[in-house]
Amino acid sequence: MQDFQNYILGSWGKGEGIETNLYNAINGDALGGVSSAGIDYKAVLDYGRKVGGPALRKMTFQERGRMLKALAFYLLERKSSYYKISSWTGATKIDSWIDIEGGIGNLFANASLRKQFPDLPYYVDGVAAPLSKEGTFIGHHIMVPKEGVAIHINAFNFPIWGMLEKIAVNLMAGVPAIVKPSEYTCYLTEVMVKDIIASKILPEGSLQLVCGLGRGIIDHVDERDTVTFTGSAATGKVLKGLPHITEKSVSFNLEADSLNASILGMHATPDTEEFNLFVKECVKEITIKAGQKCTAVRRIIVPENLIDEVQSAISAKLEKIKIGDPSIEGVRMGALASRLQVERVKESVLTLEQTQKIVSGDIENFDVEGADKKLGAFFSPILFRNDDPFNKVACHDIEAFGPVSTIMPYKDIGDAIELAKMGKGSLVSSIVTPNNQEARDYVVGAASMHGRILVLNKDCAKESTGHGSPMPLLTHGGPGRAGGGEEMGGKRGVLHYLQRTAIQGHPSTITAITEQFQIGAAMPEANPHVFRKHFEELVVGETVFTHKHTVTDADIVNFANVSGDNFYAHMDATSLDGTIFEQRVAHGYFILSKAAGLFVDPKKGPVLLNYGLDDARFIKPVYPGATIGVRFTVKEKMDQEKRSDEDIAKGIVRFLVDVYDETGETVALATILTMVKKLDQTK
């Protein structure tokens, strides 16, 4: 036995006394005690704000992304130690894999987002807005890290995933975190945080851990801070409604357990692969993590003519599920997280049983492999049947947070949509159907009350992540009962921790602030040519003004011969009546190709390659006789890490290609992406 510790104010320590005694969910053995009593939460918040925050805000998105990537690899090397401790929570190996490696996957996914952000500590959002006739006054938006802390109050079911999926996002944004896992499974979170702190990969103050009850943890939050809560809707709404939360406009994200539904489409008859997929998915969602998932299927909605067959198929599989010690071969479902959770689930089942019938499972009589069910926190999978779900509505209101689900019939897809919506807002729904029109009807009809919808069929089944798996690059959250919040979602999630601010000024000033060239800003002439400069030597805004070229009929004919593009507007002057063209027009791609011939300095130099073209636009027709030139401007720079000691040190440079004619008007615009060698090859 041991007392589990908190990591606050830069050191590990125990709280006063014991608030909660912790037990192994499989055998009931005492693990130790935990407490957060006596913690000065005002000091903890200030430490995060004053120590962790400034350190993270100094880092660019590229540096933060590389930090997360390094941490992910570090934790992956140590994953075996987490699996052993995870089993104490009642988790099978598959349950633990979802929690541990799924959580680490969130670090990798968020690390990869650095490619979507500038090489700056802040984000430049969208494009400039013209605000004046002459172009000397423009507007833009920047997003800077909030200067508070993120307080994450997590549930007991995913001690690692629950922490990593949240801190990956706030750390990427440049905001420190205080994590408060459930006291019942905090021992698993604690062991990983010990490794994180020991790694010294994160700046000091960017992560603190409170393992006890955490009473008072949000008493001192203010307008700088963000609070996220995962757990019961009732508790979350109480916290969200605290007077100082609303008075100080504290950002509060609530992600609550919800009555998620899975629908068997009318076209998924027993002779289809989709029917079997549906049965398999429902059984998996009932038994994975012993049903202790906020995304688990609680309502199984099937065509009324198929309900008997679906019930029989699901029941047959549930009856074969072995419950017990996850270390024993063949055990497919472990225990609930605690004896307290067993009592809570039992109470919900007894309430549900008043209006619907148990058709599979027994809350008292079930076998347990390799353990004593009186000592461990075991519970039988329970399948209810409700033949009148529009009138017997307890199944739409009461969630048994364990291996419990209710099967119910529907007449048509409109009925199925209404039943799904009776959950009053869910994190996720799914429909299994081979018919895309049916899928479309359900998604469009049900989306307003769901945060995510999985459409499953035989074509995607092999690679589908399943009904219950939120993905780091997709939003997680839902309306109504599900909390009305949103987290993760790739880049969207990071933006939640940034403050969007509109900025206004001269294009040169906005260029200096954003470090992105804005149209109308000063364009000092590059000397020497930009292709002769290394990455560090290039300055945003400097421009090459090229020689000019007069377009001829021969140019158009030759380009058509080379490209095979004989579109009538280029090649047939007799077919232009009724078009916008006055005469045969030069190919847009010829204009860009010729522009490259004008702006490229052909000698070998620091430019390694051109690997892309973005935002190409053909703005004004170019006719034979027009004379074009190019303003070739450094638009934006982005550092790139070396993959190995042998790798060439380089960065990415985006150049604006502005092709103009003899009147000075722009005829074509594009952005080219180049890879440019660094002068300093050690970085």
41 contact partners, CB below 8 Å, separation of at least 6: 216, 217, 219, 220
> Which among 183, 190, 255, 281 is annotated as catalytic?
255
Q: Name the fold adopted by 260-470.
A: Aldehyde Dehydrogenase; Chain A, domain 2 (3.40.309)
pLDDT bin (cut points 50, 70, 90) of residue 20 is confident
Report yes or no on whether pTM surpasses 0.75: yes
Over the stretch 466-480, which tens digit does the pLDDT of each residue have?
888 888 888 888 898
pLDDT bin (cut points 50, 70, 90) of residue 21 is confident
Number of alpha carbons in the 13 Å side-chain half-sphere of residue 434 = 12
Q: Name the fold adopted by 523-677.
A: Thiol Ester Dehydrase; Chain A (3.10.129)
394 contact partners, CB below 8 Å, separation of at least 6: 351, 352, 354, 355, 356
Q: Which two tokens stand for residue 620?
A: 């004004």
Mean pLDDT (whole number) for 198-205: 96
Return the closest-CA partner of residue 222 out of 366, 41, 54, 354: 41
Cα separation, 644 vs 254, whole angstroms: 42
CATH architecture assigned to 2-256? 3-Layer(aba) Sandwich (3.40)
**pLDDT at residue 31, rounded to an integer:** 87
DSSP code for 52? I
Over pLDDT 90: what percentage of the chain?
66
Q: Which two tokens stand for residue 83?
A: 């699996």
**Model confidence at 515: pLDDT above 80:** yes
Over the stretch 112-161, which tens digit does the pLDDT of each residue have?
998 889 889 999 998 899 999 888 999 999 999 999 999 999 888 889 99
Q: Which two tokens stand for residue 165?
A: 């999926």
Cα separation, 437 vs 443, whole angstroms: 10
3-state secondary structure at position 62: helix
Mean pLDDT (whole number) for 605-613: 90
pLDDT bin (cut points 50, 70, 90) of residue 611 is confident
**pLDDT at residue 619, rounded to an integer:** 93
* CATH 3.40.309.10 placement within the chain: 260-470
Return the closest-CA partner of residue 408 out of 395, 421, 399, 398: 395
> Which among 186, 211, 282, 294 is annotated as catalytic?
294
**pLDDT at residue 66, rounded to an integer:** 93
Q: How far apart are the first and last CA of the chain?
A: 48
* 294 is annotated as an active-site residue: yes
Please confirm whether the linkage preceding 528 is cis (ω < 30° from 0): yes
* DSSP labels, 288-338: GGGG--TTSEEEEEEEGGGHHHHHHHHHHHHHT--BB-TTSTT--B---S-
Task: Please give the C-alpha separations between residue 42 and each of 35, 39, 52, 170, 240, in angstroms, as whole numbers.
Answer: 17, 9, 15, 20, 19
Mean pLDDT (whole number) for 306-311: 95
pLDDT bin (cut points 50, 70, 90) of residue 574 is confident
Mean pLDDT (whole number) for 536-563: 93
**Model confidence at 1: pLDDT above 60:** no
Q: Which two tokens stand for residue 334?
A: 């472990």
What is the pLDDT of the chain when averaged over all its residues?
A: 91
* CATH 3.10.129.10 placement within the chain: 523-677
* CATH 3.40.605.10 placement within the chain: 2-256
Mean pLDDT (whole number) for 254-271: 91
